[in-house]
């Protein structure tokens, strides 16, 4: 039986791909698969992937690896249920001789909710690795150039032997509820009027995720979460590769509900009843995050069903 407290429909946590990490350092296997016409390439540039042309649900534009050319810069993403291998091609511009002219480009934020489980898993991994590569061009120990190793999953400094691996930063995101079961939503200072979401922040060094939930909420809104263990309940996690976060989702219950926003990160915050939030969404007085975000799932888990409108 599914635990009703857990989020089981986080769109970027879906994956129909076996990462097969044990094969990343297997040079013979990698060479065989990068010469196999069944193997496919995902095209990625920053937070965008190449998408197949046409109407309907979005799908990745995939190219046989044998059409790509030199495979040395590819990242191995994994294998599917049919043992087909997938690789990511990291582009600095959205052009390549093997890339079809009619391929479209779209952000994972935009198309993520419409992708198949396979394409979602491929996309989120490809985007995460691409963002890591862009930000890890030089050795942090000596400043020298890095060489790709382990099928794109590490970068090695040949001067001092330091190995650099993809980075993941834990961040918490929380929907806060009061004892009347209202939900607290807020607007970031850089967002337009009406755009509302839950509250989030990075876990600091030496801090637990639950402590970060309590600290971030009080720092940003003045609201205080209750002291009991059950006043902070973990619901699920989702990768958010913009550039390298893992979002840990929570519901929490407030003991002190008076709002005093910090004005530096949060411009305003309000308590909403279910009826009030639905009315605000219908009138477009409030718009909520995209369905691909964990924030939207936290809100709709509290509300009980899907809500209209999005950013």
Q: Which structural domain, as residue segments, surrounds residue 153? A: 136-166
- Cα–Cα distances (Å) from 205 to 66, 145, 212, in that order, read 45, 28, 10
Q: How far is CA 79 from CA 28, 34, 306, in A?
A: 16, 13, 33
**Residue 78: CATH number of its domain:** 3.90.79
Contact between 221 and 184 under an 8 Å Cβ cutoff? The reply is yes
Check whether residue 175 and residue 250 sit in a common domain: yes
- DSSP assignment of 6-46: S----GGG----B--GGGTT-HHHHHHHTT-TT-EEEEEET
Q: What is the pLDDT of residues 8-49, one digit of tens each?
A: 779 899 888 999 999 999 999 999 999 999 999 999 999 999
| pTM confidence score | 0.93
Instruction: Say how many C-beta atoms besides its own lie within 10 A of residue 201's C-beta.
Output: 17
Q: 221 and 126 share a domain?
A: no
**Residue 174 and residue 97 share a domain:** no
Cis previous bond, 261, omega within 30 = no
User: Do 193 and 150 have their domain in common?
Assistant: no
Query: Residue 44: inside a domain, yes or no?
Result: yes
Are 219 and 192 part of one and the same domain?
A: yes
Tell me: pLDDT of 2 over 50. Answer: no
Q: Is residue 244 part of a domain?
A: yes
What is the CATH number for 283? 3.90.79.10
pLDDT, tens only, 245-296: 999 999 999 999 999 999 999 999 999 999 999 999 999 999 999 999 999 9
Backbone angles phi, psi at 2, to 5 degrees: -70, 135
For residue 311, the model assigns a pLDDT of: 87
- Is the residue at 1 inside a domain? no
Domain count, the chain: 3
Q: Higher confidence at residue 4 or residue 192?
A: 192
Assess whether 191 and 265 both reside in one domain: yes
Query: For the segment 150-162, what is each residue's pLDDT rounded down to a tens digit?
Result: 999 999 999 999 9
pLDDT band at 54; cut points 50, 70, 90: confident
Same domain flag for 176 and 107: no
Question: If DSSP codes are grouped into helix, strand and coil, which group holds residue 225?
Answer: strand
């Amino acid at each position: 039986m599914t635990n009703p407290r857990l989020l089981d429909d986080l769109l970027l946590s879906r994956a129909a791909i076996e990462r097969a990490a044990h094969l990343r350092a297997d040079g013979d296997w990698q060479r065989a698969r990068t010469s196999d016409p069944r193997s496919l390439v995902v095209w990625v540039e920053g937070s965008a992937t190449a998408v197949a042309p046409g109407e309907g649900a979005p799908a990745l534009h995939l190219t046989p690896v044998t059409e790509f050319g030199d495979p040395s810069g590819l990242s191995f993403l994994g294998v599917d249920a049919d043992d087909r291998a997938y690789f990511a091609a990291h582009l600095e511009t959205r052009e390549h001789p093997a890339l079809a002219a009619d391929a479209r480009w779209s952000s994972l934020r935009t198309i993520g909710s419409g992708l198949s489980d396979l394409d979602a898993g491929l996309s989120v991994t490809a985007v995460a690795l691409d963002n890591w590569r862009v930000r890890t061009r030089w050795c942090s120990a000596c400043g020298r150039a890095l060489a790709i190793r382990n099928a794109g999953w590490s970068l090695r400094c040949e001067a001092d032997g330091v190995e650099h691996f993809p980075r993941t930063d834990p961040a918490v995101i929380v929907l806060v509820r009061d004892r009347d079961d209202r939900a607290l939503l807020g607007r970031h200072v850089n967002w337009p009027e009406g755009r509302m979401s839950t509250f989030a922040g990075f876990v600091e060094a030496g801090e637990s995720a639950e402590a970060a939930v309590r600290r971030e909420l009080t720092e940003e809104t003045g609201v205080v979460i209750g002291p009991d263990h059950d006043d902070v309940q973990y619901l699920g996690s989702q990768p958010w590769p913009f550039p390298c976060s893992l979002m840990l989702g929570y519901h929490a219950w407030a003991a002190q509900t008076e709002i005093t926003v910090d004005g530096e990160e949060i411009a305003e915050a309000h308590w909403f009843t279910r009826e009030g939030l639905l009315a605000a969404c219908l009138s477009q007085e409030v718009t909520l995050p995209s369905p691909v975000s964990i924030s939207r799932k936290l809100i709709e888990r509290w509300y009980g069903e899907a809500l209209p409108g999005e950013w």
